């Protein structure tokens, strides 16, 4: 462990970056899940975290947010400690991480995004509800406000999660596999919202599993497989070489060439 | 309903209602968190804790009992974790093994210790002594306004009432974080909510309800009330607030109907003796759950949501 401290660089992480990490190491038990990862996402851009299953993509988001303990490493959100920037971060967990049978409505879930404003005590007013409904409308779900969440399709549930994040009015959106198991209409709705967030100058960082849409959706990419494989603009970073390195034998040479061509 | 009802039925019914509601309130959240077994475990583990606390202090006062139960819960958590890791078995099984062993240990300890001058024996542990919590000094409804008669109320009544009010108040105050962290723990953590502390607080509230209810109504009611009224309530509605409301209604109904049926039911059927009120209250809550399973408006849920 001693040599880890020796290679630590003293200069601060870029304060302009919505999310920057250095030397992030996370382990589940004995097995490392991420090893000494560096990353720096650009502001006002859409960034993808890409890598094979078990590469540590979700772990990266959770560790950056402080949801799981890290062994070592620094995390900076707009140049400050992530703990002090919680009201500027909106997190969209994996849809499968919650029990959708929970007795609550779509509108109620979106109102949960306002907890930072209302806290324990402050009354939820008509204004709060109107804001939550507007967020539902933005993801095309305004007609489902009073529906119990278990009665929604997977794609609709994912859109409710995104609406809750919108309600937080954050500057940094962290999404864990927002397109996993959703229908085409939902994928289009979500990408439309994310692009509008980018147009408003907000930053989006998403764990993404579909290699065929990386080039179409994202500006910046972090390729990860326990450690950082490559990071940078999609056009120059999402190449046959880096994909082969990240995925090893799991992708065929033909697939890699096809994907890298799309990436330009 | 006159003087006799106030003397012999009013206080046991009220104590039954308070105990049932105190357990049903945290039970709602335990069930939604898929932790219903924790309520069961707590009510078992409480027994050895209470016995040890009694052996140390020599009294059955509330605070030593609570401390004893908390200590036993802590021991149980450590043991469950140890069995799970050393035995490499699934958490549910580890929990089952530990809480039944601890409960059995509590029963043995209780038999061996001299508790003749206090209300603490195996029968009480299981069934409480609801029928004996009567108000002999009362001579009608007017006694409710008579300070002398009121001072002879069974002490379990104000104790249980206060415990229930505290649990209700805590549920109300921490409603939003409880709901948020029960639904989506990851999101709650990302907001900066102390999720572990909330979970701990919920289990502590359940333990406090179990301890407060324990010596009056026994563990049968405690175990039943953690699960049956909230589970039945979930089948009535798709809103958390309404679910908690229904669970309070069902808990209250179980306590009233159970007590009356235990006292008079056998007579109506021609038998001469009454049956255990605790057993009947728990049985009624089970019947309510069965009815909710058959007729509850929100029972057709699973499978409604099509993936995609």
Residues A193-250 have pLDDT tens digits of: 999 999 999 999 999 999 999 999 999 999 999 999 999 999 999 998 899 999 887 6
What is the total residue count of chain B? 308
| Residue matched to tokens 């326990």 | A226
List the structure tokens of A86.
Answer: 């919680």
CB contact under 8 A, B307 and A97: no
d(CA B230, CA B242): 11
Strand ranges in chain A using DSSP code E only, listed in sequence order? 19-28, 31-41, 46-50, 72-77, 80-81, 89-92, 172-176, 203-207, 220-225, 227-233
Q: If you measure CA to CA, which chain A residue comes closest to B28? A: A103
User: Per the CB < 8 Å rule, is A93 touching B308?
Assistant: no
Q: Is B81 on the interface with A (CB under 8 A)?
A: no
d(CA B233, CA B240): 9
Look up residue B303 and give its two tokens. Answer: 């499978």
Choosing among A103, A112, A174, which should be mutated to test the B contact, i.e. which has the most B CBs within 10 A?
A103
Question: How many residues make up chain A in this entry?
Answer: 264
Distances from the Cα of B172 to the Cα of A196, B207, B248, angstroms: 38, 18, 14
- Nearest C-alpha neighbor of B287 from the set B248, B245, B256, B254: B254
Stated pTM of the model: 0.88
Asked if B237 contacts B249 with a C-beta cutoff of 8 angstroms, the reply is no
Q: What DSSP state is assigned to residue A70?
A: -
A99 and B32: CB-CB below 8 Å?
Answer: yes
B150: how many CB neighbours lie within 10 A of its CB? 14
Environment class of B100 (CB within 10 Å of its CB; exposed 0-12, middle 13-18, buried 19+)? middle
- Is the minimum CB–CB distance between B300 and chain A shorter than 8 Å? no
Contact B238 A105 (CB under 8 A): yes
Instruction: Quote the crossing angle between the two packed helices B195-234 and B240-268, to the nearest 10°.
Output: 50
Neighbour tally for A232: CB within 10 Å: 15
* Residues of chain A positioned with their CB less than 8 A from the CB of B302: 101
- CB A103 to CB B305 under 8 A? no
Say what the pLDDT of residue B219 is: 84
Position of tokens 């939604």? B32
Confidence at residue A258, expressed as pLDDT on a 0 to 100 scale: 66
What's the confidence (pLDDT) of residue A41?
Answer: 97
Mean pLDDT of chain B: 87
Rounded CA separation A204/A198 (Å):
7
Interchain contact A3–B (C-beta under 8 A): no
Question: Which residues of chain A have a CB within 8 Å of the CB of B308?
Answer: 153-155, 181-183
Nearest by CB to B192, from A86, A109, A154: name it. A86
pLDDT (tens digit per residue) in B119-164:
677 777 777 888 888 888 888 888 888 888 888 888 889 989 999 9
Question: What φ, ψ does residue B106 adopt, rounded to 5°?
Answer: -60, -40
CA angle A135, B302, A188 (to 5 degrees): 35
pLDDT at position A5: 55
CA B56/CA A49 separation, integer angstroms = 59
pLDDT at B118 over 80: no
Task: Find where tokens 């974080």 sit.
Answer: B177
Average pLDDT of chain A is 90
**Residue with tokens 């907000």, as numbered in its chain:** A202
Pairwise CB contact (< 8 Å): A154 & B187: no
Least confident of A169-183, B113-127, B181-195, B273-287: B113-127
pLDDT band at B85 (very low <50, low <70, confident <90, very high): confident
- CB–CB contacts below 8 A, A to B: 93
Residue A196: phi and psi, rounded to 5, are -70, -30
- Whether the CB-CB separation of B154 and B131 falls below 8 Å is answered with no
- Those residues with Cβ within 8 angstroms of residue B175's Cβ, 6 or more apart along the chain or in another chain: none
The beta-carbon neighbor of A97 closest among B186, B193, B301 is B186
Among A98, A105, A119, beta carbon nearest to B184: A98
Model ipTM? 0.89
Q: Is the pLDDT of residue B305 over 50?
A: no
The nearest CA of chain B is from the CA of A90 a distance in Å of 8
Token reading at A23: 């030397």
pLDDT at A25 over 50: yes
> Measured between beta carbons, which residues in chain B are less than 8 angstroms from residue A83?
192
What the block records as the tokens of B159 is 């104790």
Buried b (16+ CB within 10 A) or exposed e, B271-307: eeebebbbbbbbbbbeebbeebeeebebeebeeebee
Tell me the two tokens of residue A152.
């929604």
Q: What is the pLDDT of residues B17-45, one digit of tens each?
A: 999 999 999 999 999 998 888 888 888 88
> What does DSSP assign to residue B224?
H
Interface contact A62-B308, CB threshold 8 A: no
* Contact residues for A17 (Cβ-Cβ < 8 A; gap 6+): A40, A41, A42, A43, A76, A78, A79
Determine, for residues A66 and B237 on separate chains, whether the beta-carbon distance falls below 8 Å.
Answer: no
Q: How far is A246 from B117, CA to CA, in rounded Å?
A: 73
Whose CA is closest to B245, among B153, B194, B183, B171?
Answer: B171
**Mean pLDDT, range A117-124, rounded to an integer:** 88
Q: What is the dihedral of CA B79, B85, B87, B89, to 10 degrees?
A: 100
Q: Is the pLDDT of residue A78 over 90?
A: yes
Q: What is the pLDDT of residues A150-167, one digit of tens each?
A: 999 999 999 999 999 999
Give me the domains of chain B, ranges plus CATH numbers.
Answer: 3-294 (1.10.3470.10)
Q: Do A102 and B239 touch (CB under 8 A)?
A: no
Chain B environment of A102 (Cβ under 8 Å):
32, 182-183, 240
Cα separation, A70 vs B107, in Å, equals 44
């Amino acid at each position: 462990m001693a040599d880890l401290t020796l290679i630590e660089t003293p200069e601060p992480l870029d304060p302009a970056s919505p999310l920057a990490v250095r030397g992030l190491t996370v382990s589940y038990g004995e097995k490392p899940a991420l090893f000494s990862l560096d990353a720096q996402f650009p502001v006002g851009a859409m960034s993808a975290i890409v890598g094979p299953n078990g590469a540590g993509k979700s772990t990266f988001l959770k560790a950056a947010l402080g949801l799981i303990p890290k062994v070592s490493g620094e995390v900076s959100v707009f140049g400050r400690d992530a703990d002090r920037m919680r009201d500027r971060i909106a997190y969209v967990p994996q849809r499968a991480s919650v029990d959708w049978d929970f007795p609550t409505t779509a509108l109620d879930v979106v109102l949960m995004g306002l907890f930072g404003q209302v806290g324990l005590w402050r009354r939820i007013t008509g204004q709060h509800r109107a804001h939550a409904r507007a967020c539902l409308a933005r993801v095309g779900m305004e007609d489902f406000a009073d529906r119990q969440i278990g009665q929604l399709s997977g794609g609709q549930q994912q859109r409710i999660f995104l609406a809750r994040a919108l309600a937080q009015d954050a500057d940094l959106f962290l999404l864990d596999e927002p397109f996993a198991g959703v229908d085409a209409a939902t994928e289009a709705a979500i990408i439309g919202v994310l692009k509008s967030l980018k147009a408003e100058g907000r930053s989006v960082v998403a764990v993404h599993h579909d290699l065929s849409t990386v080039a179409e959706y994202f500006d910046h990419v972090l390729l990860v497989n326990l450690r950082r494989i490559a990071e940078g603009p999609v056009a120059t970073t999402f190449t046959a070489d880096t994909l082969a390195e990240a995925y090893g034998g799991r992708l065929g040479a033909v697939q890699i060439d096809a994907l890298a061509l799309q990436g330009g | 309903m006159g003087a006799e009802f106030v003397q012999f039925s009013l206080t046991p019914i009220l104590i039954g209602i308070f105990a049932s509601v105190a357990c049903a309130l945290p039970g709602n959240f335990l069930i939604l968190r898929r932790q219903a077994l924790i309520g069961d475990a707590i009510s078992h583990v409480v027994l050895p804790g209470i016995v040890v606390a009694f052996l140390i202090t020599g009294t059955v006062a509330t605070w030593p009992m609570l401390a004893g139960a908390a200590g036993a819960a802590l021991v149980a958590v450590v043991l469950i974790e140890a069995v799970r890791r050393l035995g490499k078995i699934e958490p549910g099984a580890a929990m089952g093994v530990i809480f039944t062993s601890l409960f059995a240990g509590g029963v043995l300890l209780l038999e061996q210790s001299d508790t003749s001058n206090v209300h603490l024996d195996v029968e009480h542990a299981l069934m409480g002594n609801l029928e004996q919590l009567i108000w002999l000094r009362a001579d009608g409804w007017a006694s409710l306004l008579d300070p002398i008669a009121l001072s002879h109320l069974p002490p379990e009544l104000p104790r249980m009432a206060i415990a229930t009010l505290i649990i209700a108040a805590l549920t109300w105050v921490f409603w939003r974080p409880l709901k948020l962290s029960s639904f989506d723990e990851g999101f709650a953590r990302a907001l900066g909510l102390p999720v572990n502390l909330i979970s701990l607080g919920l289990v502590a509230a359940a333990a406090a309800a179990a301890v407060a209810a324990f010596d009056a109504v026994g563990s049968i009611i405690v175990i039943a009330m953690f699960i049956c009224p909230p589970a039945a309530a979930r089948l009535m509605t798709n809103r958390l607030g309404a679910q908690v409301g229904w669970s309070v209604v069902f808990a209250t109904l179980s306590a009233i109907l159970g007590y009356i049926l235990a006292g008079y039911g056998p007579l109506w059927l021609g038998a001469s003796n009454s049956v255990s009120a605790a057993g009947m209250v728990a049985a009624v809550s089970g019947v309510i759950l069965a009815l909710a399973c058959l007729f509850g408006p929100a029972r057709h849920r699973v499978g409604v949501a099509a993936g995609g």
